[in-house]
Structure 1
Amino acid sequence: MTEIVGESVARRLVEWGVDTIFGLPGDGINGLMEGFRRHRARLRFVLVHHEEAAAFMATGYAKATGRLGVCAATSGPGAIHLMNGLYDAKLDHAPVLALTGMQETSVLGTYYQQEVHLDRLFQDLASYNLMVTNPQQVPGVVDLAVRDALSKRTVAHLSFPNDIQVAPVTEDPYRHVGPGAPSRSVPVYSRPPLPPAEEDLDRAADTLNAGRKVAVFAGAGARDARAEVLAVAERLASPIVKTLPGKPVVPDDHPMTTGVLGLLGTKPSEEIMRECDTLLMVGASFPYATFLPEPGAARVVQIDADPSLIGLRLPVEAPVAGDARLALERLLPRLKGGADPSFLRKYQRKAQAWRADMKALEDPSRHPIAPQYLMGCVDQAATGDAILTCDSGTIATWAARHWTIRGGRDFYLSGNLATMAPGLPYAIGMQHAFPGRQVIAFVGDGGFAMLMAEFLTAVRNQLPIKVVICNNNAYAQILWEQIVLGYPEYSVRHRQPEADFSAWARACGAYGAKVDSPHELPRAIRAALAHDGPALVDCDVNPNEPPMPGKVTYEQAKAFTEAFLRGQPHKREILVTVARDKINELRS
């Protein structure tokens, strides 16, 4: 059988170690699909219900494994649907390759049906971005796209016109000078850790050794450097503050950390940024500069594998370009450890009090169910190596504060894009990558409803993912953002009837439970996690539970009051909830 371009693409991806492609077929990629079919023994195609979900699955797969995630979509609208999930990959530095279709080359430019010039559409999105117009370009451009995505930790995109996909791979329609070598070369990608410069380490050590109140700020770039982060922090007597994507860097129950920084973070972490005189940033490109020290208030050392990110948020006195683990390992012997230990002890006490306050909010007696209690039940019942995926919104607050990183646990969400709906497809992609681990999607009713058909994808693929829906029948994050602006909420709560997503789970042939009583919740969560297949728990929670910041500012309190004075429609319920929260904190 003659090898067509679609088959050559599939074969080259297999040679690169790709074993899974997430996508949705269409007449714009029939040649690619035939290539995938011919290599189906080594290349699994996961059929989804929406292309956006395919991109999220590929992104989740890449985030969790560090390997290349691959998604495929047809021409025109199918490819357009990929873009939200692919931007998530780009902004969170996940290597993903998108394969899309295109109309036949003979009709391009004639306003043909679904003629969308995807190479132009993807221009801002993809680092390597090409429409293939000659069979002789394959597999050379596949190699280039894969290497670009892996080396830059970003998105690459290849678009194939229909006639190119089904053309014999040896077809030579033009006079040209072919690449030749890539088709014979072994597909190998090596990314050795970037070693830091010795003089940069010396300068960083001098800065840190001079500090008296030193803090460590660790982000997702330090995920593979847990031991080194802890060793440096202990030498410097430094509390460790984390970004939300960097939550797994250090266990949440470790005495050296005060938890996450930011709107979803902890009060002690925010206070550290106001008091420290020296800050060591490791693998953290934190966009919310208002939570960081005022420029000039603290001397800053920043370690990052991407030199372009150093100094992006704060003036940096000692920049170190290099791999986080390697840089910290080489920095440690240079550190003298002369910092004030009382600074660490002070914030260890504050962190302990904060954790007690958060635990008090997991109140099993409250009805409607407190979302903090829901997350607490999941946290208590999950395995020691569970992966939690999370949507954006108020649920990210509950996960940030009530999902405890310990042992081999992990945590993923859409960091910089902060898009809705990735939690479920992330879980599917990660369960494919780690079939032996417990994978839990903690999602809101709004995000789940967007891509809920993919739960059926999990059932059909026999993936034992667990989905926990924090159902407040509202777009709660937007609700509270409106109030913080000083305006009453508007058009953010759904009308009755409330959805029962457990019925959808059961209709798919999976385990489904609907819970509205706090007394039934622990049993339902345990039963779902123990189920040997896909399972879903739809839990009705208090829609008036505010995701309060770690430290309420005067401006936030003023805006909250103004919203109430202007006619906030649910002010009584909100005030009762806030009062109950404060009473529980005082009892802790």
Structure 2
Amino acid sequence: MAKNVAEIIVDTLVRAGVKRIYGIPGDSIDPLVDAIRKNKEIEYIQVRHEEGAAFAASVESKLTGNVTACMGTSGPGSIHLLNGLYDTKMDHAPVVALTGQIESDMLGHDYFQEVNLVKLFDDVAVFNQMVVNPKNAGYLIWRAIYEAKTKRGVAHLNLPVDILRMEGEEYEGTFEVNVSYSVNVDPAVKLINESNNPVVMIGGGARGSAELLNEFAEKIGSPIIYALNGKGVLSDYDEKVMGGIGLLGTKPSVEALNKADLLILLGTSFPYVNFLPKDVKVIQVDTNPENISKRVKVDVPLVTTVEDFLKSIVGKVREKEEKFYVKMKDSKEKWFNELKKVEEDNSTPIKPQKVAAKLSEIFTEGVVVVDTGNVTMWGAGILKLLVSSVSYFLHG
């Protein structure tokens, strides 16, 4: 039986592994809502505001690593998606945004809720198209999902409501993206072996590589500091982990950086460059070549995944007899003893640090969501996570 464009879009999302789509119904996306109703393998989650739909899709993508989806109706409904989609863009999460549009034969008539959404979404999206021919709809939804997945960003499709109702053509493209990065790590090995005080700094790109990262840092004796989205990659209780850096950081992290003679950046594009050392050698590992040397001068740039880098290098570097992280032990203990004085303060009103510290004791697994503001400081600096925890920080 022939499918209309809306059904093809929903079926393709399901084939790509999308489990939920977030949004608010509206006239121009009613065919999509109906297609979701007919398909039993995808869940429609109605939010109270389209901004929340985009944020929900963004967070789900960041927590799972999967492509997710959100949608808004024509005009203001879709415009409301933008704030949440910029969160997606900044954190490089793969999200498909579906926006409704007026009937195609009324475009250019200044019709009710007619907005040039393709132009409006141009800055936020890695892929940005209007479906103007139903025969091309199957290809474009496949392409949107594929671009979101490979470029890790927002893929936007603008959908005139009459096109959604028309019979379309499916496209059987693959969604599998198997990329293996092979790089020459010998220059990095040389710098590491020559260093006395190497420091590893991790970001979200290191997530999923905890075991290899722990083995690597132990072998080279490196303290580990993290950008905000790198919190929870390794346990905060690990003796090598010094904490965060910058305004949300710790004194041991600052001291480690001040004493470092080599900085190894793994999956991070940490923007606050004034907190980074200026006169040290730098190794940077990132899948996006645009991030290399964006913040600091890099001596050994490596465009690869953190996992592939660690697999390639952990067997080549020499184990250091004197571990730099061991030298930082007293500094870390002193810092946490200072924090403990505030965390154990029983005065009223209750100190927020006390709440964060207590959560550290009872929270062993799950998801942490921290809003923007002073709470970000308490969540980043006081709350300690086990490696089994999943941390997500909404820091805008």
Q: What is the deviation of 1:59?
A: 0.5
Aligned counterparts of 2:114 and 2:308: Cα–Cα separation in 1: 48
Give 2:280's match in structure 1, choosing from 290, 293, 298.
298
Residue type of the alignment partner of 2:148: A
What is residue 215 of structure 1 aligned with on the other side?
199
What is residue 109 of structure 2 aligned with on the other side?
110
Aligned counterparts of 2:347 and 2:77: Cα–Cα separation in 1: 45
What is residue 321 of structure 1 aligned with on the other side?
303
Secondary structure at 2:229's aligned position in 1? Answer: coil
What is residue 377 of structure 1 aligned with on the other side?
358
1:97 and 2:96 are equivalent in the alignment:
yes
Residue type of the alignment partner of 2:36: F
Aligned counterparts of 2:387 and 2:266: Cα–Cα separation in 1: 21
Give 1:224's match in structure 2, choosing from 194, 208, 225.
208
Q: What is the deviation of 1:144?
A: 0.4
Aligned counterparts of 1:60 and 1:18: Cα–Cα separation in 2: 14
Secondary structure at 1:128's aligned position in 2? Answer: strand
CA deviation map 1:224-262 (0-9, x unaligned): 111121111111111111111101121100001111111
Q: In the alignment, is the contact (CA less than 8 A) between 2:138 and 2:168 conserved in 1?
A: no
Give 2:268's match in structure 1, choosing from 274, 284, 298.
284
Aligned counterparts of 2:99 and 2:368: Cα–Cα separation in 1: 30
Q: In the alignment, is the contact (CA less than 8 A) between 2:71 and 2:97 conserved in 1?
A: yes
Aligned counterparts of 2:325 and 2:54: Cα–Cα separation in 1: 42
Residue type of the alignment partner of 1:402: I
What is residue 456 of structure 1 aligned with on the other side?
none
TM-score, structure 2 as length reference: 0.96
Secondary structure at 2:144's aligned position in 1? Answer: helix
Higher CA-based Rg: 1
Aligned counterparts of 1:300 and 1:16: Cα–Cα separation in 2: 38
Q: What is the deviation of 1:169?
A: 2.2
Residue type of the alignment partner of 2:351: A
Mapping 1:452-471, distance limit 5 Å:
none
Aligned counterparts of 1:85 and 1:99: Cα–Cα separation in 2: 14
Q: What is the deviation of 1:338?
A: 4.0
Mapping 1:417-436, distance limit 5 Å:
418-419=395-396
Give 2:172's match in structure 1, choosing from 166, 185, 188.
185
Residue type of the alignment partner of 1:18: V
What is residue 236 of structure 2 aligned with on the other side?
252
Q: What is the deviation of 1:284?
A: 1.2
What is residue 128 of structure 1 aligned with on the other side?
127
Q: In the alignment, is the contact (CA less than 8 A) between 1:212 and 1:339 conserved in 2?
A: no
Residue type of the alignment partner of 2:272: Y
Q: In the alignment, is the contact (CA less than 8 A) between 1:258 and 1:348 conserved in 2?
A: no
What is residue 380 of structure 2 aligned with on the other side?
400
Aligned counterparts of 1:214 and 1:389: Cα–Cα separation in 2: 32
Q: In the alignment, is the contact (CA less than 8 A) between 1:213 and 1:339 conserved in 2?
A: no
1:412 and 2:396 are equivalent in the alignment:
no
Aligned counterparts of 1:210 and 1:250: Cα–Cα separation in 2: 26
Q: In the alignment, is the contact (CA less than 8 A) between 2:264 and 2:284 conserved in 1?
A: yes
1:24 and 2:24 are equivalent in the alignment:
yes
What is residue 543 of structure 1 aligned with on the other side?
none
Residue type of the alignment partner of 2:118: D
Q: In the alignment, is the contact (CA less than 8 A) between 1:209 and 1:339 conserved in 2?
A: no
RMSD: 1.5
Q: What is the deviation of 1:277?
A: 0.8
Secondary structure at 1:312's aligned position in 2? Answer: coil
What is residue 10 of structure 1 aligned with on the other side?
10
Aligned counterparts of 2:121 and 2:330: Cα–Cα separation in 1: 50
Aligned counterparts of 2:223 and 2:12: Cα–Cα separation in 1: 47
Q: In the alignment, is the contact (CA less than 8 A) between 1:97 and 1:146 conserved in 2?
A: yes
CA deviation map 1:433-453 (0-9, x unaligned): xxxxxxxxxxxxxxxxxxxxx
Secondary structure at 1:251's aligned position in 2? Answer: coil
Gaps of 5+ in 1: 171-182, 420-588
Q: What is the deviation of 1:5?
A: 1.3
Mapping 1:186-201, distance limit 5 Å:
187-192=174-179, 194-198=180-184, 201=185
Secondary structure at 1:333's aligned position in 2? Answer: coil
What is residue 55 of structure 1 aligned with on the other side?
54
Instruction: Out of 210-219 and 140-149, give the one that drifted further.
Output: 210-219
The percentage of counterpart residues that share the same residue type is 35
Q: In the alignment, is the contact (CA less than 8 A) between 2:197 and 2:262 conserved in 1?
A: yes
Aligned counterparts of 1:64 and 1:338: Cα–Cα separation in 2: 35
TM-score, structure 1 as length reference: 0.66
CA deviation map 1:60-81 (0-9, x unaligned): 1100111011001101111111
- The total of aligned residue pairs comes to 396
1:368 and 2:349 are equivalent in the alignment:
yes
